[in-house]
Amino acid sequence: MSTFTPQLAGKLALITGASKGLGRAMALALAQAGATIALVSRDQAKLASVKAEVQALNGKAELFIADVRQEAQVATLEKEVTARCGPAQILINNAGINIRKNLTEFTLDEWQSVIDTNLTSVFLLCRAFVPHMRGTGYGRILNMTSIMSHISLPQRSAYSASKAALLGLTKALALELATEGVTVNGISPGPFATEMNQVLIQNPEANAQFLSSIPVGRWGKVEDIGSLALFLCSDAGSFITGTDILIDGGWCAR
């Protein structure tokens, strides 16, 4: 009987939005497989708490403060991460926000903040960190897309637009890097019980509506995401590129 125990020892994984939710869960999973984690967000205290959790698992992590919407801050991040930890072999573009309202009620600033956080940041991060992966024969880029890359709901115009475009970016970059051992994939979560969705979970009507749309009958647990990220970053993921993996409890199968 074979067991699957991915090893990422010696690898540096940069995870944006690592202060909580899915980013935190992926940080813990990859750290347990031996990767050093560069934890990125705007919240020093929350990152310090995740760093302590990683260390409690005998893992290694460093924290970096950056607003991923800002070109100059991403450029500084690349310099600081490389100086303190060396080149990143794994980049997980996970930072994201959602603003739920009807399209006609969006201000341009709100629209732009969703697009900048969920899409333009990924361009900035990939542009900064891909050069470190090129020529090494190994690299992994995971972009947190969404079921909203594939389907949509009312009040999701900016979010859906950003996540569908992110899927396009994922495919194009995968093709650019395909011969170099650098894979680029999307992970499309369905509804997970993170802070982003607390407003829905705490509203009995919305909660019931969501649960009835998830065939497995529950919200995703953050632990569900770590193993998938780990698999895609491992050698077992080397022939998987330019695609998007739904982890949605069956939502999109209906």
Ligand X SMILES: NC(=O)c1ccc[n+]([C@@H]2O[C@H](COP(=O)([O-])OP(=O)(O)OC[C@H]3O[C@@H](n4cnc5c(N)ncnc54)[C@H](OP(=O)(O)O)[C@@H]3O)[C@@H](O)[C@H]2O)c1
Site for ligand X in 104-143 (CB under 6 A): 117
From the number of C-beta atoms within 10 Å of its C-beta (0-12, 13-18, 19+), residue 164 rates as middle
155 vs 136: CA distance, rounded Å: 43
Q: At closest approach, how far in Å is the CB of 9 from ligand X? A: 25
One DSSP character per residue, 139-174 reads: EEEEEE--GGGTS--TT-HHHHHHHHHHHHHHHHHH
Helix 121-133, helix 71-85: angle, nearest 10: 30
Q: Is there a contact between 91 and 129 (Cβ–Cβ < 8 Å)?
A: yes
Identify the residue among 197, 232, 237, 246 touching ligand X (CB under 6 A).
197
Q: Scanning residues 72 to 101, which ones bind ligand X (CB under 6 A)?
A: 94-97
- Neighbour count for residue 200 (Cβ, 10 Å): 16
Q: How far is the CB of 219 from ligand X (least distance, A)?
A: 8
- Selected catalytic residue, list 64, 129, 159, 192: 159
Q: How far is the CB of 179 from ligand X (least distance, A)?
A: 28
Instruction: Name the strand (E) or helix (H) holding 245.
Output: strand 244-247
- Please indicate whether residue 138 is annotated as part of the active site: no
φ/ψ region of 12 (left if φ > 0, alpha if ψ in -120 to 50, else beta) reads beta
Among 120, 146, 157, 160, binds ligand X (CB under 6 A): 146
Give the contact letters, 156-195, x = binds to ligand X (CB under 6 A), - = no. ---------------------------------x-xx-xx
Q: Per CB under 6 A, which of residues 8..67 are in contact with ligand X?
A: 16-17, 19-23, 41-43, 46, 67
Q: Which residues are catalytic?
A: 159
Residues in contact with ligand X by the rule CB under 6 A: 16-17, 19-23, 41-43, 46, 67-69, 94-97, 117, 144, 146, 189, 191-192, 194-197
